[in-house]
Chains A and B, each alone.
Chain A
């Protein structure tokens, strides 16, 4: 078989590779348009690797090399090593507490000389592999709660580290692993429970706590009143209603305030509240500010600052219009109005320069990519490959959806990148590895794998 004549392109899914290349190139163009000013020496700065676009170019080349290496690797390697890789990942994340470099407030980076490595990013790969490995084990019966707990443990252990490193945004990404788990038969009840808690969370953010508690109590009372006959027949129903009421009340009255006071950073809490258009009610009065007016003024100033990114991002995208202002002609991009435009807000550059046409094309490309990943996933014969493919789809989808929703004001600003587009070696390399492991696994799908 192919072991004797290793042709790396054999069985490779070209659609995915083309989509990957196209999106990467769009990303390069966008980063270029953010940074390039009319009077720059293009070739000089391209090869000096001083500018972000030239660095990104370098990362892209490096990614291609890496991709070729992955394609050359025997796919058995990926099925054999997940556990050890996962442990290495966790160790790397712990290492940040020792060697961590402080980049804009979070110690989640390990300096490697030529680039900074963010273990939380790379750990996504290991987690995906580890989850696949676990779910593919013949002994795993994913209908049992115990298996659910172990799978959740694998996925959510990195979250703990992320939270400790103040990388809440990246921690949230790990919830993307719910997607492969769902595909593998995670009972919908979990998701319904999760969704209910999500709704309750949003309601908690929108409605003052006391009113909410009263409302929950009234609903519970109403349920008991209307279901009185059934409850007479079945006492368990009463227990269920009362326990649901108790959990909801605890969640709204205790858990959410605790979450916002102790788990989230203040700026994160503020961002989430600014999303729903409310002031942060859990904000503690600053003992330094004496008068109410001062406090109000301070708060207003801060709100403006919090909203500034989103406002500028919306202005840049919105001013692009239908056809865009043209390459390098975006006034907002050229005037550096959007903060962090080359990384988290790279989408704004596309939106301004190429307008609705450009953004829609990119969305369609991403959608094609994800649907293709699902197609690949469903044609796998091994559980390992399928779970892995769904992990990739889940991670990508979460990144894309949250990042773009954040630039167009549909989600709070949490610092996660736009896959393959945003500037940054960590992000690009992580997604390259994720995708090309999938491509490799897919190319060997005819082989029976564990």
Chain B
């Protein structure tokens, strides 16, 4: 009866097949064509967990660990699991008010969302850690502790050499976009933490975890088949002698300045003291931020690594180099002598350069007694050497010597932020005075290490190594070797000798002789070490801070023993007043003794050590600045209180005598005025603050006396 409907079976078949075709086409577009869903699935189903390797350790030359890792804990929070958590307890332990707690939670949610765990309090200190661990069950699952490795300093020394690590900021990420850092990572910021960052950081591992609908990690993908293992950072073996370093830091406490000691045969840095320094753990723990701003704002600038970043006029230590140049250029011989009748009159009598000792000096005595006139004459002969057509070329020759000695350029030390120092070139004088409008007399004070010339402490120490080695040096470096090999080729530059100009040993012998005499019977007697032939040179450096003459820097550089030298060392004590022999020489004597004899036993010398350590030679200028800072802060606070009407309230309640307050105010104002006189410019210290200011001005007083 329904035969006439036979055709309808085909319609039905068509509908069926059509529907399945639609579904298959849709499945094809969903599963094969579109990659959107794969990405979405990976985003929600797979968690890429970054495994941070341990940073490499750092050892000193005796294989003692001077920088290692300690485990510390972060308190992690998962905001959507906070329900039922004893938040009041957390607030108690962390010393937070309810409002602060809520604010922190909101910040965390904004940063990382509700369901993901983020750091609530980073790097807990031991007390908080203990309290939290005890009652952690009360705070679960909203809070948990996560292990993290932080840097630890077993010797509490060498802060400026080792540097610190810190969370990378946006600037850092912009600067190193290809190094794979992400926000929240830690990276070395200064010291060898910075310069050997690639070596120390190791290789981060990646684990792929499956994640469920509640955002929990369930198991590793494919049992960890796709994971890459984290490779721990490589260990560094340095040439630092941590005990020598600690002694140096002790000697330099309450002083501004540096000590740099180098092993001349290898160029390895034995000690690198920058004073004032800080406890390295201050910048490793959870109170880093607080300590950082404190250290950063300190006018004594403890964060500045003076050994490489500060430059000073080298003073009389520069004279030994002039002797080398003079002898090698042949403008003088060892017999050459100059008599000083009170001053250097080689440039007329207008502004003579005084000498302290009257009489006639040959090379030996000139070095021993640091005679200004002698070296002014020597350099005059070099510059006015008829061999060269004009002063430009003769000064260029002189420049070449200075470069060969490692001055006026970056040495390439493996500690960051090295400064070049300054060796005046013909171009510099042409620019300052104009072509042909200058001659030797314009810059004669350069001959005795004053005026336009500046050097960094590491350059001076390196120059000692150069003299000790009789004509070559290896670029100073902290790291001797890297455990597991130098994959990045950083150390190759510290393996070769630099000897740009070949100066015969005989010339060095003369200079050595003079330098030994400095210790034995000259200005550097303070550096004498019983039983060791020390060669040294004092320097007393005049300097100016913002145009105001400051107390002299005390300079001393030396190497020892004279035959087969093991240590080349320099010390500068800023603004200590007196002469180079007064403070710097005995400090160096003790350092040399410690290094060569391993310990100081003589009671007299130990007493001297204590005396020097306890000396406070921080210039009053720094204290004044500290006071200014305090008063700025204070006046800001006062202004705030005043504006809020609190001052009156306080006075009313305390019943303070108005007159007394006024008197104090007046005192403060007077002091401020004085400070202003001292500091015509801003009172915030700049990096160049410790350099002699106005160094480019030709109006340098020429009544320089050096010792």
B26's nearest neighbour on chain A, judged by CB, is A408
B34 within 8 A of A: yes
A305 within 8 A of B: no
A377's nearest neighbour on chain B, judged by CB, is B9
- Contact call A315/B210, Cβ cutoff below 8 A: no
A329 to B44, CA, bound (A): 15
Interface-lining segment among B10-18, B76-84, B380-388: B10-18
What residues of chain A lie closer than 8 Å to B8, measured between beta carbons?
182-183
Interface residues of B in 1-52 (CB under 8 A from A): 1-2, 4-5, 8-9, 11-13, 16-17, 19-20, 22-24, 26-28, 30-32, 34, 36-38, 40-42, 44-46
Interface string of A37-70 (1 = CB under 8 A from B): 1100000000000000000000000000000000
B219 within 8 A of A: yes
What residues of chain A lie closer than 8 Å to B653, measured between beta carbons?
none
A336 within 8 A of B: yes
- Contact call A335/B218, Cβ cutoff below 8 A: yes
Contact of A401 among B23, B38, B45, B219 (CB under 8 A): B23
Closest Cβ–Cβ distance, residue B263 to chain A (whole Å): 58
Contact of B37 among A38, A179, A314 (CB under 8 A): A314
A316 within 8 A of B: yes
B213 within 8 A of A: yes
- Contact call B12/A182, Cβ cutoff below 8 A: yes
A142 to B5, CA, bound (A): 12
Interface residues of A in 387-445 (CB under 8 A from B): 390, 393, 397, 401, 404-405, 408, 410
- Contact call B212/A337, Cβ cutoff below 8 A: yes
Contact of A319 among B16, B22, B38, B213 (CB under 8 A): B38
What residues of chain B lie closer than 8 Å to A364, measured between beta carbons?
20
A142 to B1, CA, bound (A): 10
B419 within 8 A of A: no
Closest Cβ–Cβ distance, residue B272 to chain A (whole Å): 53
A110 within 8 A of B: no
Contact of B31 among A321, A363, A374 (CB under 8 A): A321
**Given A331-B210, A334-B218, A360-B27: A367 in contact with B2 (beta carbons within 8 A):** no
**Given A183-B8, A335-B212, A374-B12: A317 in contact with B31 (beta carbons within 8 A):** yes
What residues of chain A lie closer than 8 Å to B32, measured between beta carbons?
321-322, 356
A143's nearest neighbour on chain B, judged by CB, is B1
- Contact call A334/B210, Cβ cutoff below 8 A: yes
Contact of A404 among B2, B4, B23, B36 (CB under 8 A): B23
Interface residues of A in 83-141 (CB under 8 A from B): none
A370 within 8 A of B: yes
What residues of chain B lie closer than 8 Å to A335, measured between beta carbons?
44-45, 210-213, 218
A366's nearest neighbour on chain B, judged by CB, is B20
A355 within 8 A of B: yes
What residues of chain B lie closer than 8 Å to A317, measured between beta carbons?
27, 30-31, 37
- Contact call B12/A185, Cβ cutoff below 8 A: no
- Contact call B16/A318, Cβ cutoff below 8 A: no
A352's nearest neighbour on chain B, judged by CB, is B41
A338's nearest neighbour on chain B, judged by CB, is B213
- Contact call B23/A331, Cβ cutoff below 8 A: no
- Contact call A371/B5, Cβ cutoff below 8 A: no
Closest Cβ–Cβ distance, residue A411 to chain B (whole Å): 11
What residues of chain B lie closer than 8 Å to A408, measured between beta carbons?
23, 26-27, 30
What residues of chain A lie closer than 8 Å to B38, measured between beta carbons?
318-319, 321
A374 to B12, CA, bound (A): 9
A185 to B6, CA, bound (A): 10
Most buried by A among B22, B40, B45: B45
What residues of chain B lie closer than 8 Å to A359, measured between beta carbons?
24, 27, 31
A35 within 8 A of B: no
Closest Cβ–Cβ distance, residue A88 to chain B (whole Å): 29
Contact of A356 among B16, B17, B22, B28 (CB under 8 A): B28
- Contact call A355/B2, Cβ cutoff below 8 A: no
A366 to B12, CA, bound (A): 15
B211's nearest neighbour on chain A, judged by CB, is A335
- Contact call B5/A363, Cβ cutoff below 8 A: no
What residues of chain A lie closer than 8 Å to B22, measured between beta carbons?
410
Contact of B213 among A179, A336, A367 (CB under 8 A): A336
A320 to B24, CA, bound (A): 14
Counting chain B residues whose Cβ lies within 8 A of the other chain, the interface size class is: 35 or more
Interface string of B200-225 (1 = CB under 8 A from A): 00000000001111000011011000
Interface residues of A in 4-46 (CB under 8 A from B): 37-38
Closest Cβ–Cβ distance, residue B101 to chain A (whole Å): 25
A359 to B32, CA, bound (A): 12
- Contact call A336/B212, Cβ cutoff below 8 A: yes
What residues of chain B lie closer than 8 Å to A393, measured between beta carbons?
12, 16
A401 to B41, CA, bound (A): 25
- Contact call A318/B34, Cβ cutoff below 8 A: yes
**Given A318-B37, A331-B210: A355 in contact with B16 (beta carbons within 8 A):** no
- Contact call A316/B41, Cβ cutoff below 8 A: yes
Closest Cβ–Cβ distance, residue B11 to chain A (whole Å): 8
What residues of chain A lie closer than 8 Å to B221, measured between beta carbons?
331
**Given A179-B12, A184-B2: A318 in contact with B41 (beta carbons within 8 A):** yes
A385 to B576, CA, bound (A): 116
A402 to B44, CA, bound (A): 27
Closest Cβ–Cβ distance, residue A245 to chain B (whole Å): 30
A449 to B635, CA, bound (A): 110
Interface string of A157-188 (1 = CB under 8 A from B): 00000000000000000000001001111000
Closest Cβ–Cβ distance, residue B456 to chain A (whole Å): 58
- Contact call B27/A319, Cβ cutoff below 8 A: no
A332 within 8 A of B: yes
A316 to B222, CA, bound (A): 18
Closest Cβ–Cβ distance, residue B30 to chain A (whole Å): 5
Interface residues of B in 436-457 (CB under 8 A from A): none
Interface residues of A in 271-302 (CB under 8 A from B): none
What residues of chain A lie closer than 8 Å to B222, measured between beta carbons?
329
A374 to B26, CA, bound (A): 25
Interface string of B624-653 (1 = CB under 8 A from A): 000000000000000000000000000000
What residues of chain A lie closer than 8 Å to B30, measured between beta carbons?
314, 317-318, 408
What residues of chain B lie closer than 8 Å to A320, measured between beta carbons?
31
What residues of chain A lie closer than 8 Å to B19, measured between beta carbons?
397, 401
A410 to B27, CA, bound (A): 11
What residues of chain A lie closer than 8 Å to B31, measured between beta carbons?
317-318, 320-322, 351, 355-356, 359
A378 within 8 A of B: yes
**Given A316-B41, A319-B41, A321-B32: A185 in contact with B5 (beta carbons within 8 A):** yes
A46 to B22, CA, bound (A): 37
Interface string of A306-343 (1 = CB under 8 A from B): 00000000111111111000000101101111000000
Closest Cβ–Cβ distance, residue A341 to chain B (whole Å): 10
- Contact call A337/B213, Cβ cutoff below 8 A: yes
Closest Cβ–Cβ distance, residue A366 to chain B (whole Å): 7
Most buried by B among A38, A320, A410: A320
A326's nearest neighbour on chain B, judged by CB, is B222
Contact of B9 among A316, A355, A378 (CB under 8 A): A378
Closest Cβ–Cβ distance, residue B592 to chain A (whole Å): 67
B10's nearest neighbour on chain A, judged by CB, is A374
Closest Cβ–Cβ distance, residue A335 to chain B (whole Å): 4
A390 to B11, CA, bound (A): 13
- Contact call B23/A405, Cβ cutoff below 8 A: yes
A179's nearest neighbour on chain B, judged by CB, is B12
Q: List the 4 closest pairs (A to B, CB-CB), nearest first.
A: A318-B37, A319-B41, A331-B45, A335-B212
- For the A-B complex with A318-B36, A319-B45, A366-B20 known, give 15 more contacts whose Cβ atoms are closer than 8 Å: A318-B38, A318-B40, A319-B37, A319-B40, A321-B32, A331-B41, A335-B211, A335-B212, A351-B31, A355-B31, A363-B24, A377-B9, A393-B16, A401-B19, A408-B26
Identify 29 residue pairs between A and B in the complex whose beta-carbon atoms are under 8 Å apart, listed by A's number: A37-B218, A183-B2, A183-B9, A185-B4, A185-B5, A315-B40, A317-B30, A317-B37, A318-B30, A319-B37, A319-B38, A319-B42, A322-B31, A331-B41, A331-B42, A331-B45, A335-B211, A335-B212, A335-B213, A337-B213, A351-B27, A355-B31, A359-B24, A360-B24, A360-B27, A371-B16, A374-B16, A401-B19, A410-B26
